[in-house]
Amino acid sequence: MRDFDFLKPATLAEAIAMRSSLGEEACLFAGGTALLLGMRQRLVNPKTVIALGGLADLRAIAFDSQHGLRVGALARHTDLARSPELRTHTPMLAHMAARMANPQVRNQGTLGGNLCYADPATDPPTALMALRASVVLAGPDGERTLAIEDFLVDYYATALGASEILKEIRVPPPAPGSRGIYVRHLRTAAEHRPVANLALVVERKGAVCTRARLVVGAATAVPCIAAKAGEYLTGKTVTLEVAAEAGRRLAQEITPISDLRGDGAFRRAIVGVIAKRAVAEAFGLDWKGAQA
Residues that bind another protein (CB under 8 A): 1-6, 8, 32-33, 36-37, 39-41, 49, 51, 53, 78, 99, 101-105, 107-108, 185, 187-193, 260-263, 266, 269-270, 273-274, 287-292
Q: In angstroms, what is the minimal distance from the CB of 32 to another protein?
A: 6
d(CA 117, CA 216): 18
In the complex with another protein, which residue's Cβ is closer, 231 or 263? 263
> Which of 81/133 has CB closer to another protein?
81
CB atoms within 10 A of CB 197: 31
Pick the closer one to another protein by CB: 54 or 139. 54
Three-point CA angle 255, 92, 290, nearest 5°: 65
Specify the residue, 20 or 108, whose C-beta has the smaller distance to another protein.
Answer: 108
Q: How far apart are CA 125 and CA 1, in angstroms?
A: 29
- In the bound state with another protein, the residue whose beta carbon lies nearer, of 142 and 286, is 286
For 203-236, letters b (16+ CB in 10 Å) and e give: bbeeeebbebbbbbbbbbbbbbbbeebbebbeeb
Smallest gap from residue 237 Cβ to another protein (A): 22
CB 275, min distance to another protein, A: 11
* Shortest distance in whole angstroms from residue 98 CB to another protein: 9
For 85-124, letters b (16+ CB in 10 Å) and e give: bbeebbebbbbbbbbbbeeebbebbbbbbbbbbbebbbbb
To another protein, the closest distance from the beta carbon of 58 in angstroms equals 15
